[in-house]
Chain A
Amino acid sequence: MMTLDAASWDALGLSLLVASTATLCALPLALWVAWLLARGTFKGKALLNAIVHLPLVLPPVVTGYILLIVFGRNGPVGHLLDSVFGITLAFKWTGAVLAAVIMGFPLMVRAMRLAIEAVDPKLEVAARTLGAPPLAVFSTVTLPLILPGVLAGAVMGFAKALGEFGATITFVANIPGQTQTLPSAIYAFLQVPGGEDRAIALVLWACLIAFAAVALSEWLAHRVAQRIQGQTQA
């Protein structure tokens, strides 16, 4: 029941590639934006917050279409990327990564922002008075304390990237072997008579991956907690 044909394997592999790449690319940027929103005092903070959250409230198809307009080969940014760097996003797997990054971004920022807000800034002040420069304070005090939140954000982003459908299919279409991700493959199989078996096999794999991702994140969070505790016992 879980045996997959070549096209399904391609879709599964592509989805994992897209989701992992998107998570890794979005992580540092999301952490920075989460920091700005949690601790920053600057004009336009509300606007930044709104822009970050926009993909969460817009219909995914709308987001995908906006991506197509902006990053398509004739779009302002897409044209620039194509002519200067030779990078094409529309109808490529890299475009699926961009769609996944944008759709997962608000979820990642949200989890990390909550974690940063939970850290008492007084601890950071204490670290400064002990002689630690600002960046060292972040890496030695803030980051270890928010690590569980960062992990939670990464898992949320990965899960969102894996399941992203609307924006992806609008921006990069559904080309088997090139841009066909797991959800778009399931959708495609259900469009043809007799495709249910192939769809069900992929659905089962999707469940399996989701389960594994949650288990992995739990294990990592446990490891983090243990390391924090372990430092106190060492």
Chain B
Amino acid sequence: MTLRIDITHSLGGFTLDTCFEAGPGVTAIFGRSGAGKTTLINAVAGVIAPDSGRITFGSDTLFDVRTNVPPHKRQMGYVFQDARLFPHMSVAKNLDYAVRFAAQRPQGAQRNDVIELLGLGPLLSRAPHDLSGGEKQRVALGRALLSRPRALLMDEPLAALDAARKDAILPYLERLKSTAPALPILYVSHALDEVARLADNIVVLSQGKVAAQGPIFDVLSDPNAVPLLGVRQAGAVVCATVVDHGTEGLSTLRTSAGTMTLPGVQAAIGSTVRLRILAQDVILSPRKPEGLSTANVLPVTVTTIKTGIGPGAAVGLLAGTDRLLTRIPAPAIKDLNIKPGTSCYALINATSVAPSSIGR
């Protein structure tokens, strides 16, 4: 089932004017604060009515000129940035609340599955005010899932959490993705590391307009999207298979272009992980370098060059079947004589790949 959103809504300084589709899997709505992300997701939930446009889910119209389905009939699960657990109910009662009002009541087994999936068992008898921020968000997610939603809306669910709690909750979201692959999930975020780990598709909002959209691997490795994503945050996502865990805490991973050695990889041998490789951590060399401290050298082909981003240029690279992105100083384009089609080598600084950038 696909969510189609084509709406306009005037906000303080600009007009939200978006048109995109979100099918099964995670579609990230990415943009800086004030780009209209929350307004957009609120319109999908039915919490606000946009000025005009049309929102449909499959063949079901949620909003248009004549229709405005109220939020309690939309069956859109919503996980808010502030968990919004009911303070007068225990965790178990919060979950049961969703069961009670679900359009199709989940069976007891499904309730147990959600509790199991999110590790809520030990929390059931606790009161919301006794929970940590991360625990609250897990309960809020479980509650939204137990309402048996047709799609899940998540509004910066990790934004209020510190880095450690974020890392603790991200695996649960990855598990949710693999247990419910058919569920469309709209995931609002301004943190590219979360998006890179979770999203299948990305919609980049800028000043209320869709500035870029497409599969996550395409958009994040597109040099033209660098200004939208932020020069420092820009970086491609690469799939890799874990081959071996070494003794020094370094693991060997296989990508389509060759093997890489990285620290802090938690995944089991044989499993596939996503690596987010920041553009600023990739160095280009025309010859195969020898005697360098980094072990990660991949042969690549230059695909796209985008100049005019500050003093640097963004260069798109093809490494095997994966795409990489690098930032080089603008004069280096001439010095190295690179143009689309040039073969060269990408040096990737191994220690700069943070554990939070490695996900399933």
Binding site for B on A (CB under 8 A): 120, 122-123, 125-134, 136, 140-141, 144-145, 228-229, 231-234
Contacts and interface: CB of A to CB of B under 8 A. Distances in A.
A131 B125 contact: no
B87 A145 contact: yes
Contacts, number: 81
B70 A130 contact: no
Contacts of A126: 78, 80, 84, 86
A130 B101 contact: yes
Contact of B88 (A125, A128, A133, A145): A145
Contacts of A131: 72-73, 75, 98, 101-103, 147
B90 A232 contact: yes
B84 A122 contact: yes
A228 B76 CA distance: 28
B269 interface: no
B172 interface: no
A136 B125 contact: no
B97 A231 contact: no
B169 interface: no
Interface in B67-119: 70-78, 80, 82, 84, 86-90, 93, 97-98, 101-103
Interface of B: 45-47, 70-78, 80, 82, 84, 86-90, 93, 97-98, 101-103, 125-128, 143-144, 147
A95 to B, nearest CB: 40
23 contacts: A123-B84, A125-B47, A125-B71, A126-B80, A126-B86, A127-B86, A128-B72, A129-B47, A129-B72, A129-B147, A130-B101, A130-B102, A136-B101, A141-B86, A145-B87, A231-B88, A231-B89, A231-B93, A232-B125, A232-B128, A233-B90, A233-B125, A234-B90
Contact of A232 (B73, B80, B89, B101): B89
Max chain A Cβ within 10 angstroms of own Cβ: one of B77, B101, B128: B101
Contact of B143 (A130, A133, A134): A130
A234 B126 CA distance: 9
Contacts of A129: 45-47, 71-72, 74, 76-78, 144, 147
